[in-house]
A and B are shown apart, each in its own frame.
Chain A
Amino acid sequence: MRRTPAELVGAEPGPAHHIEFDGRPVPALPGQSIAAALWADGVLAWRTTRVGGRPRGVFCGIGACFDCLATVDGRPNQRTCLLPAEPGTTVTTQEGNGRADLAV
């Protein structure tokens, strides 16, 4: 068995909680960003592009590229690599510019 990043740094995180991603619960550790929680769950894409409808997720990981946008708690165009995953945060795959989600 290969080791995990958490084992490497001897992490003993506080109890996991859940965020909701497209209607299903995804576990998150305290202090993780939304993007990190999604990666930990094996999810790499949570947006489709405006023109080509192509899937996107994290690219730069530091808030510079805006590829990781999603609709978070009803607000479109949120950078999930910067936003902390709080208990109960709802994340919805964003299609195009996310304007349809404004009505939510």
Chain B
Amino acid sequence: MPTSPSEPVEAPQSARYDLAVVGAGPAGLAAAVTAADLGLRCVLLDGGRDTGGQYYRHPAPGLGAARPDRLHHGWSVYTGLADRLAAHERAERVRFRGGHQVWALERTADGFAVHVTRGPEAADRTTVPARSVLLATGAYERQLPFPGWTLPGVVTAGGAQAMLKAGLVLPGRRIVVAGSGPLLLAAASSLVTAGAEVPAVVEATDYLGYARRPGVLAAVPAKLVEGAGHGGVLLRHGVRLRPRSAVVEAHGTERVTAVTVARLDAEWRPVPGTERRIDCDAVAVGHGLLPQIDLATELGAATRTAPDGAVGLRVDARLRTTVPGLWSAGETNGVGGADLAIVEGELAAHAVADRVPKPALLRRRTRLRKFAELMAAAHRPGPGWTGWLRPDTDVCRCEEVPVARIREAVDELGAGDPRTVKLLTRAGMGWCQGRMCGPAVACLAGPGEPGPDRRPLACPVPLSQLAAGPSGEG
């Protein structure tokens, strides 16, 4: 097909794509090149300018990075996929379209209409017709608020990674890494390698969850190596790991200057008298990842809840969602890391092409998914985290809604579910549509009505536990 500058991304009706892949991270990239290998005509769409997704985010060419691999485990895996993509693009089997944000999927008589916006103005729209769609939109970070978390210099752990990997910049020189989950170790390890000082990695759990199921760990040696790699880097740089602790407050007026760290009990309730202050000029914080699945749930796709309360898409062994023609691979099926995302991308491509994958690939997926479930269980937020909130702590960053107003909506106005809280307080109705505050609002509001909630609960907390209230709540 000839290309010209004004060429629309749409295939002509007669030549609609066999497969539209949404998201060019490890999962989507692997899916698109595998599908093209198997003879499908694909379009690969991503809101970002380049392929790679979160894991393989890398400096723009203008930055002239000679050794981008120094910020990535398995960089050659990415370059291998990128080379295959380039070859398929030359042969016009795949089209990659960066800067194409998908805002809706619509079912049509013979497939899907994929609705896309291009460019910052969102007025520039187009529609891509495709016989089937693979959702590989990844995940976003789960945040739990704490006093001072809106101060400049407090950033998400993944955001610190992203700004470092793409822009080669750090938010400060002395960065406390805090929250829960394996991403914290990856972030801390990149930050110290890139020259920051990390006075502490503050992890809410005690990591015991992994140890309880050594069999699962042993089955995925690569994961152990990567974990040990981060551990080795942190040890070499003298980074102190503080398990079963949390940053319960960030201090400063115009920007963060210090944090208070406290020990947590098994329920994540801060233990009074254990507070200590750590000076820093930045904080990188995150509490795990949540699958980004709105495009599929809008179509009624069924979901499942992982052991850490995160809601992902329900898929079968062939990575099919419950919506005919809609497949899903990677973090959208539950958070499990880049290796699993690639395996699932390959498996999904086989399924779409109606080919039988190698049994080894299926076995690898099972192993990695088990590991993911184990990790999720180990890092499940405890209900006591609300114990570090204060009445004036902003829960919703966009609309600046403090804890007190949400408690008032629940206790005095009788709001029993996140949606009612939202309507009464505007929490979650701002720019980010509840991505940042959703989990916290859900915890504060109680579970509400059952059903596939699109802003997943941070923690599968029984209402009774919440009603008992954490010690020292305001």
Chain A residues with CB under 8 Å of chain B are 2-14, 29-33, 35-37, 39-40, 44-45, 49-52, 54-67, 69, 78-79, 81-84
Q: Is the CB of A52 within 8 A of B152?
A: no
Contact A31:B171 (CB < 8 A) given known A61-B159, A64-B435 = no
Looking at B160, B164, B197, which has the most chain A CB atoms within 10 Å of its CB? B164
Q: Is the CB of B162 within 8 A of A62?
A: yes
Q: Which of B135-158 contact A (CB under 8 A)?
A: 140-141, 150-156, 158
Q: Is the CB of A11 within 8 A of B150?
A: no
Report the minimum CB–CB distance from B162 to chain A (whole Å).
Answer: 4
Q: Is the CB of A14 within 8 A of B64?
A: yes
Contact partners of A63 in chain B: CB under 8 A? 47
Chain B residues with CB under 8 Å of chain A are 47, 54, 59-68, 70-71, 120, 140-141, 150-156, 158-164, 166-173, 193-197, 254-255, 397-400, 430-432, 435-436
Contact partners of B170 in chain A: CB under 8 A? 5, 39
A7, B194: Cα distance in complex, Å? 8
Of the candidates A31, A40, A45, A54, the one whose C-beta lies within 8 Å of that of B59 is A31
Q: Is the CB of A33 within 8 A of B167?
A: yes
Q: Is the CB of B400 within 8 A of A52?
A: yes
Q: Is the CB of B168 within 8 A of A33?
A: no
Looking at A12, A57, A65, which has the most chain B CB atoms within 10 Å of its CB? A65
A57, B171: Cα distance in complex, Å? 10
Looking at B61, B151, B163, B194, which has the most chain A CB atoms within 10 Å of its CB? B163
A16, B140: Cα distance in complex, Å? 32
User: What 10 A-B pairs come out closest when comparing CB atoms?
Assistant: A31-B60, A36-B167, A30-B62, A61-B159, A31-B62, A66-B431, A10-B66, A44-B152, A45-B152, A9-B65
A59, B430: Cα distance in complex, Å? 15
A39, B430: Cα distance in complex, Å? 25
The chain A residue with its CB closest to the CB of B67 is A10
Report the minimum CB–CB distance from B147 to chain A (whole Å).
Answer: 13
Report the minimum CB–CB distance from B69 to chain A (whole Å).
Answer: 8
Contact A59:B66 (CB < 8 A) given known A11-B168, A39-B170, A66-B398 = no
Of the candidates A8, A37, A78, the one whose C-beta lies within 8 Å of that of B120 is A78
Contact A36:B163 (CB < 8 A) given known A11-B65, A59-B155 = yes
Contact A12:B66 (CB < 8 A) given known A3-B194, A45-B255, A56-B150 = yes
Report the minimum CB–CB distance from A41 to chain B (whole Å).
Answer: 9
A54, B148: Cα distance in complex, Å? 11
Contact partners of A7 in chain B: CB under 8 A? 195
A50, B168: Cα distance in complex, Å? 31
Of the candidates A13, A30, A49, the one whose C-beta lies within 8 Å of that of B400 is A49
The chain A residue with its CB closest to the CB of B285 is A59
Q: Is the CB of B68 within 8 A of A9?
A: yes
A29, B151: Cα distance in complex, Å? 26
Looking at A4, A58, A78, A84, which has the most chain B CB atoms within 10 Å of its CB? A58
Report the minimum CB–CB distance from A31 to chain B (whole Å).
Answer: 3
Contact partners of B60 in chain A: CB under 8 A? 30-32, 84
The chain B residue with its CB closest to the CB of A52 is B400
